[in-house]
Amino acid sequence: MMPKLPTEDPDRVTLGLYPYLKSTTLDPARSWQSIKDALGTSSWEALLQRAGSTSAQFETDAENADNDFYEVCERVDQVIADDERRSVLEYLHRNDPTQAPSWSYFSTPSLVRPDVWLIHFTEDARSIQEEGFTRGVNDVTQLGLTTFLSDTEKDFGGYAFAFVANSRDARNAGQKYGSQAVMFRAVGVKAYHNGDDENQVIFWGPSVDPTGIVALTPDPDTGDWCVVAYGRMQDRGRSCAFRGPLARAISWVEANHAQYARHLHARRL
């Protein structure tokens, strides 16, 4: 079964994602019909029997969505054989990829320390700087293929994606995910996305303090990136605290943020 993630502490929500990405749960409460279709009727009925139920009883429990239903689903996840699990995953990825569990799209998850700089590409760095990460995905089972989700499904905030800032994946991503970028530090889970062929960092958007977000915007003529300046630096006519290639702009923020922090944030520190 999908783990219940704590909500009282945003950092704990991110840390709760880590064991889920290392799991092999099929989340039968959400995808039992797909499991049934993948295995076929006879194998599905045999699986339910091993879980202490029958097809008729299970469908009644599913209609009621009562405790018995969730308990049987948990037992199904425990007793399903490895070859059956593989068959279900192959079926889902082939026929209904949005229903495949998020963990099946990722590998080698690891925790990212809160002092590591991350970079998130966007089309509106200023609004993220001012308001924080207000959009995201709040369902861990939907993180594998977020491009298939509608904008309204991301309106309530939740998990978002970034890269370790000073990494080859960040440099290779370039502007694939947005023409602008923001840098920040947050607890995250780094994992390799098998479909996108890159290491991504998943973090809980509400855990990021907007006062710690730095905006980067590109110059369309030169290709250089501007580390956007505010405060007295901006008042003196200097719009960029630093200007240069993306990799150098990232390195500049990492090396100089402590000294220039009051000039780099839309909100006052």
Same domain membership, residue 121 and residue 94: no
Q: Which two tokens stand for residue 151?
A: 């904008």
Same domain membership, residue 114 and residue 96: no
Direct distance between the N- and C-terminal alpha carbons of the chain, in angstroms, rounded to an integer: 42
Query: Rounded to an integer, what distance in angstroms lies between the CA atom of residue 186 and that of residue 202?
Result: 10
pLDDT surpasses 70 at 5: no
Domain that residue 66 falls in? 26-100
Domain count, the chain: 2
Please identify, among 100, 130, 164, the residue that sits at the C-terminal boundary of a domain: 100
pLDDT band at 1 (very low <50, low <70, confident <90, very high): very low
Contact yes or no for 52/68 (Cβ under 8 A): no
Please identify, among 100, 121, 138, the residue that sits at the C-terminal boundary of a domain: 100
pLDDT surpasses 50 at 3: no
Residue 247 in any domain: the answer is: yes
Residue 166 in any domain: the answer is: yes
Lowest mean pLDDT among 8-22, 34-48, 135-149, 166-180: 8-22
The mean of the pLDDT values for the chain is: 89
Residue 231 in any domain: the answer is: yes
Residue 7 in any domain: the answer is: no
pLDDT band at 4 (very low <50, low <70, confident <90, very high): very low
Same domain membership, residue 232 and residue 137: yes
Residue 10 in any domain: the answer is: no
Residue 181 in any domain: the answer is: yes
- Residue 239: its pLDDT value, please? 87
Same domain membership, residue 91 and residue 192: no
Let me know if 81 is exposed, middle or buried by CB neighbors in 10 A (0-12, 13-18, 19+): exposed
Q: How far is CA 39 from CA 44, 47, 77, in A?
A: 6, 9, 14
Same domain membership, residue 139 and residue 180: yes
Q: Does the CA dihedral 14-69-30-54 come out positive or negative?
A: positive
pLDDT surpasses 50 at 8: no
Same domain membership, residue 169 and residue 58: no
pTM of the model: 0.87
